[in-house]
A and B are shown apart, each in its own frame.
Chain A
């Protein structure tokens, strides 16, 4: 197995995540797209770590996971409270950021 196969998989996953974020309206799906992008990045980190025989990449992957876990907590809390106040989780119904 060459590194390039892992990198191709990572970029495919990242693209899927990006498209999900750009195209889908449901915030939870959008959120999953974000997770997908993070994990694609993690995969790339690990592939490079193995390629160079260096643990720095694995270390970075751990950091990403920790941050992603924290982000999921905050993000889901926002989505839940949004749903409670506005009875919708569609990102296009919300343009409160303007204000």
Chain B
């Protein structure tokens, strides 16, 4: 049954809600200005970018405080900005939906975004294109806020494409290097595959429900057939897979680390890649009535969380290991989002805490790269804890948070997801066991690979190359890291104390808490035990005084080799999609050359041949012409005479 609040969007919007379009407009205007003014803005471009992002945060915070002051039943506010697509019997308005879910995202995006803007001032200081970088970052913030504030699927899609564009531009920011440009293109193409799902979902909604706004679609979904909803759900899942790097469209995220590290932190860890989770949670009323699509979401989430974790274990590139971890954590969120409204709440909660601790760790990685001359190979790190105390400590907070050690942030969100995964739908006890154990086991692997990363970078013996002299980063970089690490420590506790789940629940479909197939305390204990075991194995192999980390990757068995190659995802994509696609294009080109052009060329060849044959008569000798004439006359005379006789 649908919660009435979701549909009753008739409440009058407050002044703050009506002004909340500014959170999108400010960074958008700043991005436009920075791109149009060009080099003349080089001196102050980064300051404008930071100001725009911070102003957006202030407006968002105003709307958020205003929302909290309203009675619970009046918190979902739809604000129509202008009539966008007037179409006779079908009108579509450009509008924003200000509710608990969208404002949660607004706060996350603008707060973390502003911190990363500040960090980037120092990180990009020596890049001559810093202004362009800030323009793109602002463009991203604007698009992401449009995505989460949209009140219809079409407006959401505009933001959806906007973040894809910003992601493409920022991955390829250093596009003078071919492999970076290729990585940007790869991300773009993989995202387009997902977009097909989004478009198909909107087509089905339009043809079946004659509506594209959230209010209209969710109302119609209540009376729609199960098959229609399953189709829409699967199409939306495809879209979410593309954007959130979920199996089988996950291959672009690792390469996306080609972008500058602040980009990896903001777009490819904290916000954009979680848009797929947002989409699934937001479309709760659709998934509510289709267990098949929900099962598909959960399955994809479970596969991806294991996939990312396994890949993360073998990566030596610091950023790629973090990317694999992001993929795995979003797998957790996706799994939770597919479990239903209660799971959805914890998915969003994990998304928020993950946004803090993963962004913090990425900024830490950027700080390490800054100190180590852009080195990313963890085998050349080690013993950085003394050289970079602040980075070490802030990274440690993020590490403890992702491990899920109480009372750090990840414990409160991830443990809830694992517990929810053990809750079986009615009559499907096996689902509770399978997904619960996968989530629990994933936590153990997570503990191993994140500890491996942490120990390889900060503990053990120094394995630096000769020209590296690590030093702590400037304050502009460490302060955002410290703030994010405070979030990694306390955010989970705070969100639990202020009852985030009760705050968010009215924005979603009404759900009911089920009982897990195993006692909740047993689950918590077993998870913690697995985490400690994983971390201990990593310590004994990479962190302890006796551990020796070779500076070159040692020979390894098949699984490790596969994991180093991202479980051959690129090879599989190559064999299944790229090669046949190229063969098809080559075949089409050949057909065009040989058959279509060939026919035209052949025709020309025939007439040319005939022409050159006839032109031999035209030799220019008067006597030969005379002979021809004579022959003609004789022929004519013969014909005339023959006619007479």
Residues of A in contact with B (beta carbons under 8 Å apart): 18, 21-22, 25, 30, 91-92, 94-99
Using Cβ atoms and an 8 Å threshold, which residues of chain A touch B627? 22
B623 at the interface (CB under 8 A from A): yes
B618 at the interface (CB under 8 A from A): yes
B610-625 CB mask vs A (1 if < 8 Å, else 0) is 0000000011111101
In the complex the two chains form, is A99's CB within 8 Å of B620's CB? Answer: yes
Identify B630's interface contact among A22, A92, A98, CB under 8 A. Answer: A22
B555 at the interface (CB under 8 A from A): no
B639 at the interface (CB under 8 A from A): no
In the complex the two chains form, is B619's CB within 8 Å of A95's CB? Answer: yes
By beta carbon, the residue of chain B nearest A18 is: B630
In the complex the two chains form, is A91's CB within 8 Å of B622's CB? Answer: yes
CB distance from A98 to the nearest CB of B (A): 3
In the complex the two chains form, is A91's CB within 8 Å of B620's CB? Answer: no
Identify B623's interface contact among A92, A96, A98, A99, CB under 8 A. Answer: A92
In the complex the two chains form, is B623's CB within 8 Å of A21's CB? Answer: yes
Q: In whole angstroms, what is the CA distance A95 to B619 when docked?
A: 7
Using Cβ atoms and an 8 Å threshold, which residues of chain B touch A30? 622-623
Known: A30-B622, A92-B621. 12 other contacts (CB 8 A): A18-B630, A21-B626, A22-B627, A91-B621, A91-B622, A92-B623, A94-B621, A95-B619, A95-B620, A97-B621, A98-B618, A98-B620
Identify B620's interface contact among A18, A21, A22, A94, CB under 8 A. Answer: A94
Using Cβ atoms and an 8 Å threshold, which residues of chain B touch A91? 621-623
By beta carbon, the residue of chain A nearest B626 is: A21
In the complex the two chains form, is B620's CB within 8 Å of A97's CB? Answer: yes
In the complex the two chains form, is A97's CB within 8 Å of B622's CB? Answer: yes
Interface of B is mostly: helix
By beta carbon, the residue of chain B nearest A99 is: B620
In the complex the two chains form, is B625's CB within 8 Å of A97's CB? Answer: yes
What would 7 A/B residue contacts be, using CB atoms closer than 8 Å?
Answer: A18-B630, A22-B623, A94-B622, A95-B619, A97-B625, A98-B618, A98-B620
By beta carbon, the residue of chain B nearest A25 is: B623
By beta carbon, the residue of chain B nearest A91 is: B622
Once A18-B630, A22-B626, A22-B627 are accepted as A-B contacts, the answer to whether A96 and B620 lie under 8 Å apart by CB is yes
CB distance from B87 to the nearest CB of A (A): 68
CB distance from A25 to the nearest CB of B (A): 8
CB distance from B550 to the nearest CB of A (A): 82
CB distance from A39 to the nearest CB of B (A): 18
A21, A30, A96: residue with the most chain B Cβ atoms closer than 10 Å: A21
CB within 8 Å of A: which B592-636 residues: 618-623, 625-627, 630
Using Cβ atoms and an 8 Å threshold, which residues of chain B touch A99? 620
CB within 8 Å of A: which B437-473 residues: none
Using Cβ atoms and an 8 Å threshold, which residues of chain B touch A25? 623
Q: In whole angstroms, what is the CA distance A18 to B626 when docked?
A: 9
CB distance from B454 to the nearest CB of A (A): 88
Using Cβ atoms and an 8 Å threshold, which residues of chain B touch A18? 630
Using Cβ atoms and an 8 Å threshold, which residues of chain B touch A92? 621, 623
Q: In whole angstroms, what is the CA distance A98 to B616 when docked?
A: 10
By beta carbon, the residue of chain B nearest A21 is: B626
Using Cβ atoms and an 8 Å threshold, which residues of chain A touch B622? 30, 91, 94, 97
Using Cβ atoms and an 8 Å threshold, which residues of chain B touch A96? 620
Q: In whole angstroms, what is the CA distance A99 to B620 when docked?
A: 8
CB distance from B476 to the nearest CB of A (A): 81
Q: In whole angstroms, what is the CA distance A96 to B625 when docked?
A: 13
By beta carbon, the residue of chain A nearest B621 is: A95
**Which 4 A-B residue pairs are closest in the complex by CB-CB distance?**
A95-B620, A98-B620, A97-B620, A91-B622
CB distance from B281 to the nearest CB of A (A): 83
By beta carbon, the residue of chain B nearest A93 is: B621
Q: In whole angstroms, what is the CA distance A94 to B626 when docked?
A: 14
Q: In whole angstroms, what is the CA distance A31 to B242 when docked?
A: 90
B625, B626, B627, B630: residue with the most chain A Cβ atoms closer than 10 Å: B626
CB within 8 Å of A: which B50-103 residues: none
Q: In whole angstroms, what is the CA distance A75 to B630 when docked?
A: 20
B106-134 CB mask vs A (1 if < 8 Å, else 0) is 00000000000000000000000000000
B618, B619, B621: residue with the most chain A Cβ atoms closer than 10 Å: B621
Q: In whole angstroms, what is the CA distance A97 to B625 when docked?
A: 10
CB distance from B613 to the nearest CB of A (A): 16
By beta carbon, the residue of chain B nearest A92 is: B621
CB distance from A68 to the nearest CB of B (A): 17
By beta carbon, the residue of chain A nearest B622 is: A91
B244-267 CB mask vs A (1 if < 8 Å, else 0) is 000000000000000000000000
Using Cβ atoms and an 8 Å threshold, which residues of chain A touch B620? 94-99
Q: In whole angstroms, what is the CA distance A94 to B625 when docked?
A: 13
By beta carbon, the residue of chain B nearest A97 is: B620
CB distance from A7 to the nearest CB of B (A): 15
Using Cβ atoms and an 8 Å threshold, which residues of chain A touch B630? 18, 22
Q: In whole angstroms, what is the CA distance A97 to B630 when docked?
A: 18
By beta carbon, the residue of chain A nearest B633 is: A18
Q: In whole angstroms, what is the CA distance A97 to B622 when docked?
A: 8
By beta carbon, the residue of chain B nearest A96 is: B620
Q: In whole angstroms, what is the CA distance A99 to B619 when docked?
A: 9
By beta carbon, the residue of chain B nearest A23 is: B623
Using Cβ atoms and an 8 Å threshold, which residues of chain A touch B619? 95, 98
By beta carbon, the residue of chain A nearest B615 is: A98
Using Cβ atoms and an 8 Å threshold, which residues of chain A touch B626? 21-22
Using Cβ atoms and an 8 Å threshold, which residues of chain A touch B621? 91-92, 94-95, 97
By beta carbon, the residue of chain B nearest A98 is: B620
Using Cβ atoms and an 8 Å threshold, which residues of chain A touch B623? 21-22, 25, 30, 91-92
By beta carbon, the residue of chain A nearest B629 is: A21
CB distance from A91 to the nearest CB of B (A): 5
Q: In whole angstroms, what is the CA distance A46 to B606 when docked?
A: 52
By beta carbon, the residue of chain A nearest B623 is: A91
Using Cβ atoms and an 8 Å threshold, which residues of chain A touch B625? 97
CB distance from B303 to the nearest CB of A (A): 79
Q: In whole angstroms, what is the CA distance A99 to B618 when docked?
A: 9
CB distance from A61 to the nearest CB of B (A): 20
CB distance from A37 to the nearest CB of B (A): 11
Using Cβ atoms and an 8 Å threshold, which residues of chain B touch A94? 620-622
Q: In whole angstroms, what is the CA distance A21 to B623 when docked?
A: 7
By beta carbon, the residue of chain A nearest B627 is: A22
CB distance from B580 to the nearest CB of A (A): 56
CB distance from A40 to the nearest CB of B (A): 14
Q: In whole angstroms, what is the CA distance A19 to B209 when docked?
A: 97
By beta carbon, the residue of chain B nearest A27 is: B622
Using Cβ atoms and an 8 Å threshold, which residues of chain A touch B618? 97-98
